[in-house]
Amino acid sequence: MNDSLALARDSILAPVGLSDGDLDRLLGLLAGASVDAADIYFQSSRLQSWVIEDGLIKDGNFNIEQGAGLRVICGEKTGFAYSDELQFPALAQAAEAARTIARGGRGHSVAVGAKAPAAALYPPINPIDSLENADKIALLRRVDAEARAADPRVREVTASLVAAHDVVLVLADDGSLAADVRPLVRMNVSVIVEADGRREQGSSGGGARTDLGFFLAEERALGFAREAVRLALTSLEAEEAPAGTMPVVLGPGWPGVLLHEAVGHGLEGDFNRKGTSAFAGRLGERVAAPGVTVVDNGTLPGRRGSLAIDDEGTPTQETVLIEDGILRGYMQDKLNARLMGVAPTGNGRRESYAHLPMPRMTNTYMLAGDRDPAEIIASVDKGLYAANFGGGQVDITSGKFVFSASEAYLIENGRIGRPVKGATLIGNGPEVMTRVSMIGNDLKLDEGVGTCGKDGQSVPVGVGQPTLRIDALTVGGTSA
Amino acid sequence: MSISATEDTAERLARLQESVEELLREAERQGASAAEASVGSSTGLEVAVRLGEVETVEHIRDNGLGVTVYFGHRRGSASTTDLSPAAVRDAVRAACAIAEYTQEDSCAHLAAPELMAREVPDLDLCHPWPIGVDAAVALAVECEEAARGHDPRIVNSEGASLSTHFGLRVYGNSHGFIGGYPSTRHGLNCAVIAQEGESMQRDYWWSSARAPEDLDAAARIGARAAARTVARLNGRRLGTRKVPVLFRAEVATGLLRGLIGAISGGSLYRRASFLLDSLDEQIFPEFVRIHEQPLLPRGLASAPFDGDGVATRAKDLVRDGVLQTYVLDTYSGCRLGMPSTANAGGVRNLTIDSGPLDRAALLREMGTGLMVTELMGHGLNMVTGDYSRGAAGFWVENGEIQYPVEEVTIAGNLREMFANLVAVGDDCDFPGSTRTGSWLIEQMTVAGE
């Protein structure tokens, strides 16, 4: 049984009376002899958010979005139009606009039919309804109380709870209909602590493609509150960060943002097809130290970056990007895969129906090695241990990337020492991965908080890695 | 789907006004004691070309409405992309359902009625560009060709793109205020790739304006993109050191954004700012004046009223180096016990007055140091002002550029950087709503090899 497809038909097509015959006619308007590919992406989204601040539930918002994006591809040319009205005349008008790039005649008829369903990675539920509003409020109050009770130096607490229900339906030009019902929940806790005239901030959170019960399980939400306070108090003690190039040990989990920036973006198909990436044309070459294996895997059940199908209807997969240090593959959407003569990898993603798909990451992580994390830290005489990070950024052409440590400590004589202030770390992607000299046995994925931006489009992603030693990385502190 | 010349703007504006009025009436019917609503609608065209061929043609058509309902001092909000009457009812119902659970917050209310804009002055913001796809493609191709032909080291391209947007915005609230206006925005940009030996670099340039005739010439944009890109080739690293740093004009805007973040009401009432209690304090040297001009004709950020319906007005944020005002909307102002400064939605057209030195004189003033032309990452801690970012630029000795620099970081503390600002140049040469020359900072830590 294809639950997602039935749900998507019911929630998107039925209310506006779009029949399979209408879909066939729309495809006929888009496709034709000169057209290499065409598709229609229907989307219906609901998002509810709540915020607690100063101990009061102050704000809540409910967002409703729906529409369809229609795309026509001829060679390397793409025509695109979208509509927030789903009635046939509005979609037909959008189809006309999208087709202006195609010069040839029309004439395309296929039978619209269900595509074989992809493996279920998350339940086809609406997480907004998974908890009563009163219980959501109660959860935020408990989080607020937990943070305030954790330490008398806590001055301000802000916490948010977001649940989103995203239903998508992709009609490809072969007439196949693929659907996905995507729940996504997210919580964030942010605190300000103050002592002796010094103030610092700490934040923590997590999320997944599941229901809101996720935050109640294992006291997860309360754990975020305690972690935010711990991070803020650690910063309160932090001294000037060092400046210069030194050995850096990265903790497991979220520090995997290193991989996302240093190699992930540079291995997206579009940049490599166009030859604009520092990794272009290097398949089969050594780009990382032996032992380094990096994958992009959209099939992990329930993860924030996971998708049953991508936004072009392709089932997601595990794609090996780097295997034992050798560059093995790129992440592809349909357009770039076709132009490069390879198969799509289920990485065609878009922010919404009003945006064009492009190759994007899902969950990107490095596989575990065999070193004990304690042994890795003990191997460093003088360096930095970075346990937590904020965001990062990369220039895919030069390969230069940055990521910002938010929790870091000096390593002196093989021991973790004093905490140091947040600092930006900078490196060169293709170079830095060759300097990975020790890989821990403690692979961990992040808590489910990542959002990746590319060309102005945001999508949820995951990262992960084991503890890593990088022999030389530049640390941007002030203590020279 | 593209910009419609056939439908009268006034009629479309009137229809959106009706939507806002209907939202407010619906909120009242559902029991709200007050409400505010905004509706926006935009259409546009974006074309991208690469290596002389069309890459994408996108027809833009965005609609959106947002409503906030108040039940006394409890509030709830909802938004949707659907402007149909049924969607309006659903949105109001969703907002009211939220307000059942939010708590009394004495600052949750509309702006004071006497602050509402009394009229909506014509700021000359609307200059539609009835350009067709073929003409748009031709202009983008001209821009890219100018870049590709500029230097033999330009070996590849990310392409050039042209965009034109026409938008309508209407805001109203239950004080009886309702205001709306049309605006346009057009842009042309180009990004190319240069290679020499092992070094590959990308850079870009752009132009953005309310009226098409105010855009830079396509060929000039392309040539500038190319010149910037080849200048970065064969960058070197630096040894770790403390030196003066010149933030070239286009990246100095980020320092102004840091200031605005720190003096914004939201950061202040949450105590998440490194400029708490800084009103009337000397935060810059005496030569610094920073001011906002929200009513600037054709200004890229101009608006006759803010997101709360409050009439905008020109004002000094910093005069003689002293902070004159915070940047407040109705809510954050109330939290701080102050009136709104008409900044719901941010600051509009910010300018720091130029000093006497042009770029060459600034470099001579610096003597030896780093001129930064690109920053990477988000390394500003708004609570402490601690600043650490990835950077690229040029090494300068005796006032002369020596070679490009890459893969270094610069670090300091923004509060100290403001206090140690040596000069602001008379060299503002980039498009955008923030106007600044280059900033010379006395000393920062550069980390490299």
A385 and A288 share one domain:
yes
Q: Which residues of B touch A422 (CB under 8 A)?
A: 379, 381, 386, 388
Last residue of a domain, one of A186, A219, A237: A237
- Please state the rounded mean pLDDT for residues A51-64: 95
Count Cβ atoms below 10 Å from residue A281 Cβ, excluding itself.
Answer: 10
| CATH number of the CATH domain containing A228 | 3.30.2290.10
A322 and A454 share one domain:
yes
Q: Which residues of A touch B50 (CB under 8 A)?
A: 76, 274
Q: Extract the tokens encoding A447.
A: 């808590």
**pLDDT tens, A128-153?**
999 999 999 999 999 999 999 999 99
pLDDT band at A2 (very low <50, low <70, confident <90, very high): low
* Cβ–Cβ contact A49 with B under 8 A: no
A125/chain B closest Cα distance in angstroms: 20
- Please state the rounded mean pLDDT for residues B44-69: 96
Residue of chain B nearest A239, judged by CA positions: B386
Q: Which residues of A touch B409 (CB under 8 A)?
A: 243, 402, 423-426, 474-476
Task: Give the model's pLDDT for residue A27.
Answer: 92
Mean pLDDT of the residues in chain B:
96
CA distance A165 to B377: 31
Interface confidence (ipTM) of the complex: 0.94
CB contact under 8 A, B57 and A275: no
Judged against a pLDDT cut of 60, whether residue A1 lies above it is answered with no
pLDDT band at A104 (very low <50, low <70, confident <90, very high): low
CB contact under 8 A, A276 and B193: yes
Last residue of a domain, one of A195, A216, A237: A237
Judged against a pLDDT cut of 70, whether residue B7 lies above it is answered with no
Mean pLDDT of the residues in chain A:
95
- Please state the rounded mean pLDDT for residues B188-214: 97
A228 and A312 share one domain:
no
Question: Which residue has better confidence, A372 or A102?
Answer: A372
Judged against a pLDDT cut of 50, whether residue A348 lies above it is answered with yes
CA distance A117 to B135: 44
A432 and A345 share one domain:
yes
CA distance A344 to A330: 10
Judged against a pLDDT cut of 60, whether residue B3 lies above it is answered with no
CB contact under 8 A, A98 and B55: no
* Cβ–Cβ contact A77 with B under 8 A: yes
Last residue of a domain, one of A237, A262, A280: A237
CB contact under 8 A, A200 and B384: yes
Task: Give the model's pLDDT for residue B4.
Answer: 43
Count Cβ atoms below 10 Å from residue B271 Cβ, excluding itself.
Answer: 15
A322 and A371 share one domain:
yes
Judged against a pLDDT cut of 70, whether residue A106 lies above it is answered with no
Task: Give the model's pLDDT for residue B377.
Answer: 94
- Please state the rounded mean pLDDT for residues A347-371: 98
A212 and A249 share one domain:
no
B410/chain A closest Cα distance in angstroms: 6
Of A65, A133, A200, nearest to B383 by CB-CB distance is A200
A255 and A277 share one domain:
yes
A44 and A184 share one domain:
yes
> What's the domain count of chain A?
2
Domain that holds residue A222: 4-237
* Cβ–Cβ contact A53 with B under 8 A: yes
Classified as helix, coil or strand, B370 is strand
- Please state the rounded mean pLDDT for residues A271-288: 96
Task: Give the model's pLDDT for residue A427.
Answer: 96
A309 and A323 share one domain:
yes
- Please state the rounded mean pLDDT for residues B177-185: 97
Percent of chain B topping pLDDT 90: 96
Q: Which residues of B touch A477 (CB under 8 A)?
A: 388, 411, 445, 447
pTM of the model: 0.96
- Please state the rounded mean pLDDT for residues A8-13: 94
**pLDDT tens, B137-159?**
999 999 999 999 999 999 999 99
User: Which CATH class, in words, describes the domain spanning B5-230?
Assistant: alpha beta
- Which A residues, 433 through 472, put their C-beta within 8 Å of a C-beta on chain B? none
A120 and A255 share one domain:
no
- Please state the rounded mean pLDDT for residues A383-389: 96
A140 and A255 share one domain:
no
**pLDDT tens, A440-463?**
999 999 999 999 999 999 999 999
Lowest mean pLDDT among A172-176, B98-102, B150-154: A172-176
**pLDDT tens, B296-355?**
999 999 999 999 999 999 999 999 999 999 999 999 999 999 999 999 999 999 999 999
Domain ranges in chain B are 5-230, 235-448
**pLDDT tens, A308-328?**
999 999 999 999 999 999 999
A58 and A184 share one domain:
yes
- Please state the rounded mean pLDDT for residues A277-290: 96
